[in-house]
């Protein structure tokens, strides 16, 4: 029955909105709540641009219906609106519709009170979990206990949520998903940052309690009491401070020799990356001999025993290819070259080598740049 009354109020709201947008088209966006909109239309009527004492009286009465911020925005917008006044019969129809919506709202409140008195017999587990007032609101908003039991917890959480106009203010103060469950005393007792989590926990238990009551099980409310105890335990768990982080002691300063890899592969890698004989000769110097600076600087690069005039007569012996430090080709590259050679193709490496002597017949040597 409550859902039917809400539907009738929405129909009346649409009728009044279609009629009154001729006079004040901006009011629909400024006051989205149907009941507040109808009360504001009934109060304003055609006289929305009144001045002097009448304007102060209208603003005072409007402040009893709307929030202070919304009341200021409505007053400022009403003074600049381009709407046209309604005819006498149109204004009369609008006022009658507003009176009818107000009467339906009063009947709905009376029905809520009646349902609240009988709620302990209809849904004992929900009453033990939420209380008679919140249970009556949920059951009335859902259209009965059976529809409520078929709702998921996420839908129960938003039952009774009202859409509010921000009127240009910040959205940080808005409460998303704030319905009847959110304003339950058990949820409101939580810290602000935990209220949303608490509302989710309570809504999930409401779903279980509603399903139990719809099947007429546990008429004494024992399951509702158990669910309430679970909710309280979870909320206490949420409010527990985080565990203290213990100071971890530093490891013992044991100067152990670091483990280094060994084996044939590592030895060969070290030999391949090792120093050549020519570099070793450049790093050696004769005892008691004045060294020359190659770069003519105070501190420059010196050739050591490789320089001209050493004990070997200034001659550098021919370099001997050392297989240990020789550049090697990977097996993958070898297989690729073998495959290209078998196919008769010319690789990029072979093509570059062939450019060294492209003019042999003319006895001209060409160098690659």
Confirm whether 209 is domain-assigned: yes
Query: Does 229 have pLDDT greater than 90?
Result: yes
Q: Do residues 69 and 155 share a domain?
A: no
The average confidence (pLDDT) of the chain is 78
Which distant-in-sequence residues (6+ apart) come within 8 Å of 132 by Cβ? 116, 117, 119, 120
* Residues 45, 151 within the same domain: no
Q: Does residue 91 surpass a pLDDT of 60? A: yes
Reported as a pLDDT band with limits 50, 70 and 90, residue 347 is low
Assess if residue 224 is contained within a domain.
Answer: yes
Mean pLDDT computed over 266-286 = 81
Would you say residue 182 lies in a domain? Answer: yes
Same domain? 101 vs 129: no
pLDDT at 170 over 60: no
The pLDDT-based confidence of 33 (bands split at 50, 70, 90) is confident
Residue 363 has pLDDT above 50, yes or no: no
Q: What pLDDT sits at residue 365?
A: 46
Lowest mean pLDDT among 27-41, 125-139, 339-353: 339-353
The residue ranking higher by pLDDT, 258 or 95, is 95
Q: Taking the CB of residue 136, how many other CB atoms lie within 10 A of it?
A: 26
Instruction: Examine residue 20 and state whether it is found in any structural domain, yes or no.
Output: yes
User: Is 255 contained in some domain?
Assistant: no
Q: What is the CATH number of the domain that holds 184?
A: 1.10.246.90
The answer to whether residue 153 sits within a structural domain is: yes
- Whether residue 295 contacts residue 301, with contact meaning beta carbons closer than 8 Å, is answered with yes
Are residues 209 and 181 part of one domain? yes
The listed range with the strongest mean pLDDT (55-64, 150-159, 356-365) is 150-159
- What's the CATH code of the domain at 39? 1.10.287.4070
Where is average pLDDT lowest: 126-140, 150-164, 309-323? 309-323
What pLDDT does 192 receive? Answer: 86
The DSSP code sequence of 311-332 is: TTTTPPPPPPP-TTTS----HH
Largest CA distance in the chain: 127
Count Cα atoms within 13 angstroms, Cβ side, for 313.
2
Residue finishing a domain among 193, 208, 239: 239
Residues 76 and 17 in one domain: yes
What DSSP element (H or E) covers 109? helix 88-122
Cα separation, 106 vs 230, in Å, equals 37
Residue 192 in domain: yes
Domain's final residue, options 224, 239, 254? 239
Task: State residue 223's pLDDT score.
Answer: 92
Rounded Cα distance between 280 and 272, Å, is: 15
pLDDT recorded at residue 367: 44
37 and 88 co-located in one domain: yes
Is residue 61 in some structural domain? Answer: yes
Number of structural domains, the chain?
A: 2
DSSP code string of 236-305: HHHHSPPPPPPPPPPPP---PPPP---SHHHHHHHHHTS--HHHHHHH---TT-PPPPTTSSSS----GG
What pLDDT sits at residue 228? Answer: 92
298: pLDDT confidence band, cut at 50, 70 and 90?
Answer: low
What's the rounded Cα separation, in Å, for the pair 222 and 200?
A: 22
* Range with top average pLDDT, 75-89, 215-229, 338-352: 215-229
Q: Containing domain of residue 29, as a range?
A: 2-108
- Has residue 96 got a pLDDT over 50? yes
Whether the per-residue pLDDT at 53 is higher than 80: the answer is no
pTM (two decimals) = 0.47
Report the pLDDT averaged over residues 277-286: 81
| 64 and 133, same domain (yes or no) | no
The predicted model gives 333-338 an average pLDDT of 89
Q: 146 and 49 in one domain?
A: no
Q: Which residues of 210-219 are buried (b: 16+ CB within 10 A; e: fewer)?
A: bbbbbeeebe
Measured at the alpha carbon of residue 14, what is the angle toward residues 13 and 20, in degrees to the nearest 5? 85
């Amino acid at each position: 029955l409550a859902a039917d009354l809400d539907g009738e109020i929405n129909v009346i709201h649409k009728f009044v909105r279609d009629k009154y947008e001729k006079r004040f088209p901006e009011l629909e966006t400024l006051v989205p709540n149907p009941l507040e909109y109808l009360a504001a239309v009934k109060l304003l009527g055609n006289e929305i641009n009144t001045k002097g004492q009448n304007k102060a009286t209208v603003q005072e009465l409007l402040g009893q219906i709307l929030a202070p911020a919304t009341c200021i925005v409505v007053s400022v917008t009403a003074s600049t609106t381009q709407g046209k006044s309604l005819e006498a019969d149109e204004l009369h129809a609008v006022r009658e519709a507003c009176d009818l919506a107000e009467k339906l709202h009063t009947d709905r409140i009376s029905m809520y009170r009646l349902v609240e008195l009988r709620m302990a017999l209809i849904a004992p587990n929900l009453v033990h979990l939420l209380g008679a007032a919140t249970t009556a609101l949920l059951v009335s908003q859902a259209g009965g206990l059976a529809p409520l039991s078929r709702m998921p917890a996420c839908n129960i959480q938003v039952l009774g949520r009202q859409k509010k106009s921000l009127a240009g203010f910040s959205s940080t103060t808005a409460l998303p998903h704030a319905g009847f469950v959110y304003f339950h005393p058990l949820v409101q007792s939580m810290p602000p940052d935990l209220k949303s989590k608490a509302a989710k926990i309570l809504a999930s238990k409401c779903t279980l309690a509603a399903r139990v009551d719809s099947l007429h099980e546990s008429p004494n409310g024992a399951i509702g009491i158990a669910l309430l105890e679970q909710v309280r335990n979870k909320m206490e768990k949420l409010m527990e401070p985080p565990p203290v982080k213990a100071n971890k002691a530093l490891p013992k300063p044991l100067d152990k020799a670091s483990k280094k890899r060994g084996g044939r592969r590592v030895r060969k890698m070290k030999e391949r990356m090792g120093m050549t004989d020519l570099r070793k000769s450049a790093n050696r110097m004769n005892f008691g001999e004045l060294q020359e600076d190659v770069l003519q600087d105070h501190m420059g690069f010196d050739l050591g025993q490789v320089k001209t005039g050493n004990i070997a007569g200034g001659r550098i012996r021919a370099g001997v290819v050392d297989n240990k430090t020789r550049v090697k080709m990977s097996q993958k590259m070898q297989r690729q070259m073998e495959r290209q050679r078998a196919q008769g193709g010319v690789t990029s490496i072979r093509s570059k080598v062939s450019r060294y002597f492209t003019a042999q017949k003319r006895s001209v040597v060409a160098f690659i740049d």
